[in-house]
Structure 1
């Protein structure tokens, strides 16, 4: 025991020293003031395992029992950025059941929880009336088309007849997601609750935005008693008997009308008694006489069919490592759970719980990394972002013509303008990434129809880069927010303190980020190729020349010999933020880095200050604001590492890419469900210890889910080239944890392939297991 205490003390001391850098500098950049849109944390999401469900614009955050709100936190049932259910707890004779297991099904289609009754005393003076482990409780929950379905199955293994009182308590606070995150509000709308029937309770909230939001809880069979926040079931179980209880929660949002309904809701004044308009929540209307068990079974069947149709025909992977297979299965399931259908196609929502909505940058990068698995993501992202592209100057939304959407929100605070995110364009990188994705999508699919459909948006995006993105005409794209409500930093590292100088003081804008210039370079190169395909030769030649000039100017302005890498950014005075950061790895990813610089950049990224054994830190240890527990200044992000690995592979530094891949695989072994989180802390890897979690990281997160596919493609040197009808494998390698990998149903045009990779020490052999069509497979050095 003494040895353990000594080790713990030593570990704590080391971590304190490692994270003390920013404190020692004594910065005076309002560091003691909480930044705008800060996610307030009084409890850590790491304290207890949470479970996530999602369908469309609705998602649920549940505890491992399938309950909601038993402890403080973000738990709830959410729809369009509003919490429609803030509490749901099931007790048996006044106690929580004993947990046996709690797992998400392999495809994330439902949560399955196995429990049993605890020791139950029906009278305080009696001995135990019902011994524990007498009655099994199986709970199944899923989301589908405007409703959350919940079945609680009971089975007795007792020789006696038993009666159990099961109580369900519930509430709906209709808090905006930004309130749940910690933002205070001065005013709120009116809320009421109504017992609508002997099987249904309705909550209704009339917002200040004149939207009526309704939550209805439907119970089956008929409870023994029902009141606004509680129902009671008295369940009779004969020996070996079974019983099932059902809870169906539906949620809707409607524009308010002025005609009041005839019912009266508890706590709701006359002004709030408004008739509900047409159903905007998508909840399926069920016949009133249909049993809840039948409704549950039908919805469960339909949800399985829906998920199968969404994933039909995708590329799948089986490897020699069962744990990696499990992680890939979860990553695939996460991608398709986060996928939401739009009129333009499927779009991967960013993450749960804080970012379950459209984010331009996140969707684009997710689609890039998953492109060889399923190009439907890229097509949906391109079409959606083209349809929502800014058409006018709007300072309140940080918008200018041609700029690509950063995020969109539909909660009350966004609708009222209390936060600027209803349609918000405050991102500097989304627009060049959008153009970059268009070329990559075409290169893999040859889908010229989609390119033609979004061509006006691509041209407008180019114009934005030159006219609005380059604020001072120096050839670099930079940002400065147009509204005080907007984000201070508008790259992917958008924390208020993420862009700073060597001495730690924050950079003043307009700010030109290292990685953004790379995105612009790749966008212009890609757009030049698309222009040539469509017969716009003068445009193609001009863009090619602009890309060449940008590469030269970038190297001259951003390279810093002293730190051995590209500077994080240039401030408004064109002074380098000479900080070692992961951003330089994106210069490899986009190809803007000169070949002679690649080795130095790789060495800095993978050096002892950059790579902690699990991954590459966002900011290297020793830099002024380095803090391994921060969001962007020393933490580790899987998607960031995946883009770095893709960049290393571009410059044929596969072994460094494999090293990062190995670290991320090792990280996944310590994560719940083998799921890579949004980010984790950057503390140095230590023997017999796993990585340190970040307290409010999203999990699942779309671009973290896509990262394993990017790592694998990088190490295999996988390139799908539709123009040449060729699958190229450039100097493939496999990390040490993989002896073999098989890719099934690799698609190129009308061709399909199964490819087998086998590692022999440092060599990898490639064999075609199945070929349908005339696609060529080429292995090169």
Structure 2
């Protein structure tokens, strides 16, 4: 999805023959952890990662001489705790006795806080006799860079020093080729009976009916001795911090049916999990495990999805991206002055420029989206103070669009990577085979993507509106550029015989006549004429696009169509949501509500957590959607999709300049008889909105209104 290695599958990703869907992730700040259902990490695609370096690569628990029998495992709905419940297999004889299977309950429970893994192993003897329990952990730290873990080869690397032991503590050290010394420390609450640099062995005496706890910590700095008090205190901090993130902005609740509310809760919890509070404000990291870092495009779209409920995300994203705006030209980084960052990484390989992603700008759409989001944020909040602060960055971004984004002077934003290490395709569909002509052959560059022109149109419009409020005398020029882009798209991308827009123009100005979901993003920006928007909407709603679980990225029957591919026929929830929001902008409500219901049905099969993508096979009665084997879970813009689609279905828009909330032809999805939005803030005003089905229509009743604002329903 988001970098040059996004579609690779390493051997470790095929854990238990079904990949990342079997792995479970925790995240806190710039630290994340991926383990299997037992809580074990085996040095494949799993481990404990900090700042893009794996600081615990192996962590495997055995009871007796075997892995315990797993009863259940999962991550708590608030995404703070992982737990695995298991029981023992028959234990080897100790003192002439052997404990039978199933008499011990063993719970592994862990969380992340303050760049540290906290784990508790709780052992309860439910048998009729005392038990001697041999417990062991195999561990290791390879300090591998995240790109190395994902399969990028390295000719050489730094020095992994021999671990040092100190009673109940093991310290690991690595000196990288970047001259940075990295540390990791593993510590136990009880001294092991035997401790080496790779294994800790314990022998616990469990009287019948009694409980014994073992606490473990792993962090980047010197380990303190773990104990129950440290566990409880840090667990409280972790849970309070997550709760605070989940409570930002307004809340949405459905009917009494707990399943729909659970989906809303899970989506909000996933967005909170992925949001890291940076010095510049909250930022939704793209996803775990491979995209747990700030991405430009992903952060902007996730913030836009949540904008109507929680504008603080957009403020944090805009402020952070402004601080990372390019100031010079770099072919290796695909950067030019004014361009907005695509991705940033903190590992050794990035620092050494073995990969270009320490600060990489190879996203052709991010700069336009940055400006467009600033306009949307201002309309939602009326926060001109932030716009004034960002104005130099917005002007620099507009100058990039004018001077660099349009490489051949034809008035369209285009791309062509500066170095072979960069992304060959630089829109959101960035896999190598995602942009092509009708016969399947790849276009020559520079390539002008359809949806990017829509983003540019929205950016120029936003600049015009903001410039007028700030008294900038270039307002007319920016509005003229928006109109120029609109006309160019209508003239050069429209295919009258198809009733649709081409996915791109190649370097010769020829249409790439593939029929793809990119046109849905164009609708989202409001660029097409009403008549053409209706024709595009009609085609997007056909069975060739619509699977019953969402909208495919590529129409059935197109060259390179493959429902199991990354971008050429799969379903991406955020892509479906943006298309739905685009349709709603042109008055389509009923179909948008139906698509929301379809995505909800898909989410129900994925345990209420929408993956990054899933396969684009048609929906069959009684059968679930088919998972894409290495999709990220959770993914920020997948989690945010439900909220954008709800906004689209309700026809809800907020005009902070005039203090109004408008609902245009609101529709509730089938089976949803009511919806409550509480704590919706506009400036200093706040209101609750209660939606109900009355005589076949959705009716909204404002409640608990405080401050100067008006709520209007438009038909």
What's the counterpart of residue 220 of structure 1? Answer: 189
Task: Identify which of 377, 380, 386 aligns with 2:316.
Answer: 380
1:56 equivalent in alignment to 2:29: yes
What's the counterpart of residue 180 of structure 1? Answer: 149
What's the counterpart of residue 372 of structure 2? Answer: 436
Superposed displacement of residue 437, structure 1: 0.5
Task: Identify which of 159, 162, 179 aligns with 1:190.
Answer: 159
Task: Identify which of 672, 696, 699 aligns with 1:738.
Answer: 672
**Alignment check: 8 A CA contact 1:167 1:232 kept:** yes
Cα deviation 1:159-184 (Å, max 9, x = unaligned): 32211011011111222111221111
1:616 and 1:301 mapped to 2: Cα distance?
41
Q: What secondary structure, in the 3-state scheme, does the structure 2 residue paired with 1:395 have? A: coil
1:779 and 1:35 mapped to 2: Cα distance?
46
The 5 A counterparts of 1:51-90 are 51-69=24-42, 73-90=44-61
Q: What secondary structure, in the 3-state scheme, does the structure 2 residue paired with 1:145 have? A: coil
**Alignment check: 8 A CA contact 2:594 2:670 kept:** no
Cα deviation 1:396-421 (Å, max 9, x = unaligned): 11100000000011111111111111
What's the counterpart of residue 711 of structure 1? Answer: 645
Q: What secondary structure, in the 3-state scheme, does the structure 1 residue paired with 2:253 have? A: strand
What's the counterpart of residue 274 of structure 1? Answer: none
1:75 and 1:542 mapped to 2: Cα distance?
52
1:684 and 1:410 mapped to 2: Cα distance?
41
What's the counterpart of residue 359 of structure 2? Answer: 423
1:723 and 1:208 mapped to 2: Cα distance?
54
What's the counterpart of residue 462 of structure 2? Answer: 526
Superposed displacement of residue 366, structure 1: 0.4
Cα deviation 1:660-712 (Å, max 9, x = unaligned): 212211110110x3100000111121121111111111000111011111111
The 5 A counterparts of 1:639-658 are 639-658=574-593
1:115 equivalent in alignment to 2:49: no
Superposed displacement of residue 41, structure 1: 4.0
1:334 equivalent in alignment to 2:334: no
What's the counterpart of residue 352 of structure 1? Answer: 288
What's the counterpart of residue 113 of structure 2? Answer: 144
Over 6 Å off, 4+ runs: 34-37
TM-score computed with the length of structure 1 as normaliser: 0.88
What's the counterpart of residue 474 of structure 1? Answer: 410
Superposed displacement of residue 296, structure 1: 1.5
1:644 and 1:145 mapped to 2: Cα distance?
39
**Alignment check: 8 A CA contact 2:91 2:99 kept:** yes
Cα deviation 1:591-612 (Å, max 9, x = unaligned): 0111110111011111121111
Superposed displacement of residue 656, structure 1: 2.0
Superposed displacement of residue 200, structure 1: 0.7
**Alignment check: 8 A CA contact 1:389 1:402 kept:** yes
**Alignment check: 8 A CA contact 1:563 1:579 kept:** no
The 5 A counterparts of 1:4-43 are 38-42=7-11, 43=13
Q: What secondary structure, in the 3-state scheme, does the structure 2 residue paired with 1:674 have? A: coil
What's the counterpart of residue 654 of structure 2? Answer: 720
**Alignment check: 8 A CA contact 2:412 2:453 kept:** yes
Task: Identify which of 547, 556, 559 aligns with 2:494.
Answer: 559
2:79 and 2:684 mapped to 1: Cα distance?
30
Superposed displacement of residue 123, structure 1: 7.3
1:506 equivalent in alignment to 2:442: yes
The 5 A counterparts of 1:307-346 are 307-320=242-255, 321-346=257-282
Q: 1:740 to 1:706 in 2, by over 3 A?
A: same
**Alignment check: 8 A CA contact 1:313 1:745 kept:** no
1:142 and 1:775 mapped to 2: Cα distance?
43
Superposed displacement of residue 157, structure 1: 1.9
2:130 and 2:664 mapped to 1: Cα distance?
69
**Alignment check: 8 A CA contact 1:564 1:600 kept:** yes
Task: Identify which of 67, 70, 77 aligns with 1:99.
Answer: 70
Q: What secondary structure, in the 3-state scheme, does the structure 2 residue paired with 1:397 have? A: coil
What's the counterpart of residue 140 of structure 2? Answer: 171
Moved more, 356-365 or 327-336: 327-336
TM-score computed with the length of structure 2 as normaliser: 0.96
Q: What secondary structure, in the 3-state scheme, does the structure 2 residue paired with 1:60 have? A: strand
**Alignment check: 8 A CA contact 1:470 1:478 kept:** yes
Task: Identify which of 522, 530, 540 aligns with 1:595.
Answer: 530
Superposed displacement of residue 342, structure 1: 1.5
Q: 1:502 to 1:81 in 2, by over 3 A?
A: same
Superposed displacement of residue 121, structure 1: 4.0
Cα deviation 1:438-481 (Å, max 9, x = unaligned): 01111111111111111100000001001100111111111111
Task: Identify which of 365, 371, 381 aligns with 2:301.
Answer: 365
1:635 and 1:120 mapped to 2: Cα distance?
48
2:9 and 2:695 mapped to 1: Cα distance?
49
**CA RMSD after TM alignment:** 1.8
1:762 and 1:769 mapped to 2: Cα distance?
22
Q: What secondary structure, in the 3-state scheme, does the structure 2 residue paired with 1:465 have? A: helix
Equivalent residue pairs, number: 708
2:22 and 2:336 mapped to 1: Cα distance?
42
1:689 and 1:749 mapped to 2: Cα distance?
47
Superposed displacement of residue 35, structure 1: 7.8
What's the counterpart of residue 349 of structure 2? Answer: 413
Cα deviation 1:506-530 (Å, max 9, x = unaligned): 0111000000000000111111111
1:774 equivalent in alignment to 2:708: yes
2:595 and 2:695 mapped to 1: Cα distance?
18
**Contiguous gaps of at least 5 residues in structure 1:** 1-33, 252-282
1:139 and 1:737 mapped to 2: Cα distance?
39
1:696 and 1:108 mapped to 2: Cα distance?
20
1:677 equivalent in alignment to 2:611: yes
Superposed displacement of residue 552, structure 1: 1.5
